[in-house]
Amino acid sequence: MSLLKEVNRVFGETLEKTGPGPQMESLAGQMAGKNMFMDGKLFPTFLKPYFVEQAARPLFDKVTRLLIASLNKIGTLYFEEGLFKEQIRLAGRTADLASIDPGYPGHQIINRLDVFYIPQTGELKLLEYNCGDPSGMGWHDQMLEMFLGLPVIQQMAKQYRFHVDWLVKSHFRTFFKKYGQWCRNKGIQPEAKPNISFVCKRDSTVLGDFLAFVEYYRAMGYKTEFGDPRDFEYDGRHLTLNGDIIHLIYRDAIDDVILDPYWEDSQQLVQALRDQAVCFINPVSAASGDWKSILEILSDSRYAHYFSAEEQSCHARHIPWTRTLLEGSTTYHETEIDMIPFVRRNKDRFVLKPNDGYGGFGVMVGRSARSSDWESLIDKSMNEGIVYTVQDLVEIPREDFPIVRDGRFEGFEPKNVNLNLWSHDGEFAGAFVRAATGSIINVHQGGGMVPVFFVSK
């Protein structure tokens, strides 16, 4: 029996012995106490971590490093040489703010790579990058602490070694690394104790996630405040929040600044960003990596010369065929095709995604869609100027999770799983898993999140 099969079997046996109902009740109570709510509901999870063999960690390290290096190359070529305008369609206020030099090396600093992972074969398939405003790290670390305290996990820890990753702790190290680079670039001395703000709108669905960062950074001895983009003042030299100078900012969605309800009232923050009066992480230029068609650049041989041999090998193994949905010819696995007729005829092979979408909204899986809906979405893309990305359908991995409803344990049910690899400044920082019944795996679409436990004997 493989280690993973053994661990999952032992987990099921131990869970029943230690009482699933009380443990789920305890977990939910702790989450409520931490204000882990999204859209007015308790943040969704399941009573089981996702187990991965410790032996797989070097693969995650290597693939993450190579894919983020490739992404940063694309960002550099886009901003410095004007390449890839077909795939990266920054416009308006976002393009304006993205053109500002972040003041330190790199554009893609804090990233989440959404992948399908097949443990039996060691295969990883990258579905998309999330670079502009990835969230979930704060909630993950709070959840991880709760999972480690579960009786089922404490019992299993007597038999197995668990390795876990604290994403906020890694974020903390990266944060001050980039701040040091920013200060050196400006020729100034870093503050011994810089003042920090975590910024998103007051009614953000991820407010609780950001407040977890505030709590951690305060515990580390730094003056840290939550800030809405509209709360700041700027005098031409210093950006302030509630009268205190702010040296370092970590932001959530750039939409919280650029959309019309917020834009005018966020100009103090925007001007400080333009003047490089504050170190801003993630930079707005990170949005260059948020386009689904980025994977076209990594899966089309026309662009292979921009990448090293090692990067090309990584792309070939881990990137599914991806193209911007446009009229004209392209290659499909080395065969010349007329794209639109081919995609119309072969819907069961593909997934359609809005090129600038998020949260799983607007995604259509051909195999699950009616032919009329598939045709309508293609027509909409062609006739209304809405850019879609077409991608090879990748078989979705599945994992069994315990189901507890109203305090009653109802056994295990299979869920589709999406492994999310986190990168902090190009290096693998840790992972969590999202699981759902449907084929679109996202907490915005009714899925749940659980931490990843790397396990060995």
Question: What residue ranges define each of the domains in the chain, with the CATH number in brackets?
Answer: 3-165+396-456 (no CATH), 170-281 (3.40.50.1760), 321-392 (3.30.1490)
- In whole angstroms, give the CA distance from residue 111 to residue 119: 23
Q: Where are the beta strands (DSSP E) in 235-308?
A: 239-241, 244-245, 248-251, 279-281
Determine the pLDDT at residue 421: 98
Determine the pLDDT at residue 361: 78
Determine the pLDDT at residue 1: 62
Q: Name the token pair of 145.
A: 């602490």
- In whole angstroms, give the CA distance from residue 241 to residue 248: 12
- Whose structure tokens read 């983020």? 68
The 10 Å Cβ neighbour count of residue 371 is 10
- In whole angstroms, give the CA distance from residue 324 to residue 149: 46
Name 414's bridge partners: 400
Q: Name the token pair of 349.
A: 């092979």
Mean pLDDT, consecutive 10-residue stretches, the chain (457 aa), reads 93 97 96 88 93 97 98 96 95 96 95 94 93 91 97 98 98 97 97 97 92 97 98 98 97 92 97 97 94 97 97 97 96 96 97 84 91 95 92 95 93 95 97 86 71 97
Do 333 and 322 meet the contact criterion of CB atoms below 8 Å apart? no
Determine the pLDDT at residue 38: 83
Reference 200, options 225, 177, 222, 175; nearest CA is 225
- Coil, strand, or helix at residue 124? strand
Do 136 and 430 meet the contact criterion of CB atoms below 8 Å apart? no
Name 52's bridge partners: 454
Reference 179, options 63, 307, 276, 77; nearest CA is 276
Q: How far is residue 330 CA from its own chain's centroid?
A: 29
> b/e map of 249-268 (b: 16 or more CB within 10 Å)?
bbbbbbbbbbeeebeeebeb
Determine the pLDDT at residue 40: 83
pTM equals 0.95
Determine the pLDDT at residue 437: 85
Reference 208, options 448, 444, 36; nearest CA is 36
The 10 Å Cβ neighbour count of residue 332 is 17
Phi, psi of 439 (to 5 degrees): -85, -10
Q: Name the token pair of 181.
A: 């680079």
Determine the pLDDT at residue 444: 57
